[in-house]
């Protein structure tokens, strides 16, 4: 079975490489020619647009920045639905608004195309390792058909419910990650200002209740002021925007999310939007006049 992949960015490109390693034949499409060439060098074929991808594939994966990009690639003039055959499956692995996922799924259903919303968590390192967490919404029987394919890209592949449930789960994940990074930054700045070595604080608490995967991944970056993006601040702003919009829509209060969103907006204004979200520590450094590293 040929798999089409549209979107070869920080996440999509290594995900493609893991699909190729697993033995899948790919047809890929991206606006960045260099990314297409890199994956093509490993054996993938290229296509000019979503329509051309869908004409040759029964399974199409999209990995794009946000809801408008997915809508255009799927529903646009040269989109997936212009070339997809009835019975094809679209797996959108982008992180988008749940309502947008439902809208796109409705358009797919009208043409006999099945859709899953399957956003991921883990950032570039886990995309490279093939150890992503994948949260899936849609029909259970469609999930069962493609679970093994998803498992080529992630070690945790969990069915979360009907269409939109995948992205709702991802929003919950992004809230927890953002608040966790903010809490780590705030706590370690307290230690630094109080004259206690933050590295020793980390060593002391990482095995206790405060320890977390986020702390283990981000503290080394914070301590070394290494903000090379695994997941950029501007993308986390996008996710928190979707979380806040969804919260407002369903009547769920998100005061902590709103606070961290404002911190990230400050960093964006200061020119740090392309840095890793661990650069949230810069907000505390700006207020305190002290650097952690």
- Partnered with residue 25 across adjacent β-strands are 2
* C-alpha to C-alpha distance for 274 and 26, rounded to whole angstroms: 29
- CB-count exposure of residue 56 (10 Å: 0-12, 13-18, 19+): middle
232: which DSSP letter? B
Counted residue by residue, the chain has a size of 293
Residue pair 68/99 in contact (Cβ under 8 Å)? The answer is no
The residue with tokens 């661990």 is: 278
170 is catalytic: yes
The residue with tokens 């986390």 is: 236
CA 116 to chain centroid, in Å, comes to 15
- CB-count exposure of residue 70 (10 Å: 0-12, 13-18, 19+): buried
Task: Select which of 13, 126, 170, 192 is catalytic.
Answer: 170
Structure tokens at 20: 């190729």
Residue numbers annotated as active site: 170
């Amino acid at each position: 079975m040929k798999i089409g992949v549209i979107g070869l960015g920080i996440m999509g490109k290594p995900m493609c490489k893991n699909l190729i390693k697993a033995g899948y034949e790919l047809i890929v499409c991206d606006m960045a020619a260099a990314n297409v060439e890199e994956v093509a060098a490993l054996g993938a074929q290229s296509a000019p647009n979503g329509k051309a991808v869908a004409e040759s594939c029964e399974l199409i994966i999209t990995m794009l920045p946000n809801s408008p990009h997915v809508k255009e690639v799927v529903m646009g003039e040269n989109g997936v639905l212009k070339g997809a055959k009835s019975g094809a499956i679209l797996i959108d692995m982008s992180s988008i608004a749940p309502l947008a996922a439902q809208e796109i799924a409705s358009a797919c259903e009208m043409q006999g195309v099945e859709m899953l919303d399957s956003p991921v968590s883990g950032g570039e390192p886990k995309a490279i390792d093939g150890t992503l967490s994948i949260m899936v919404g849609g029909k259970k029987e469609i999930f069962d058909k493609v679970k093994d394919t998803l498992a080529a890209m992630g070690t945790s592949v969990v069915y979360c419910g009907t269409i939109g449930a995948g992205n709702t789960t991802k929003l919950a994940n992004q809230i927890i990650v953002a608040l966790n990074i903010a809490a780590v930054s705030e706590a370690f700045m307290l230690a630094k200002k109080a004259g206690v070595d933050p590295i020793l604080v980390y060593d002391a608490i990482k095995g206790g209740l405060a320890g977390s995967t986020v702390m283990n991944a981000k503290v080394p970056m914070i301590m070394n002021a290494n903000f090379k993006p695994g997941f950029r601040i501007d993308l986390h702003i996008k996710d928190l925007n979707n979380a806040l919009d969804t919260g407002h829509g369903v009547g769920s209060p998100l005061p902590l999310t709103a606070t961290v969103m404002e911190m990230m907006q400050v960093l964006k204004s200061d020119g740090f939007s392309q840095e890793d979200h661990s650069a949230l520590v810069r907000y505390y450094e700006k207020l305190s006049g002290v650097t952690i590293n």
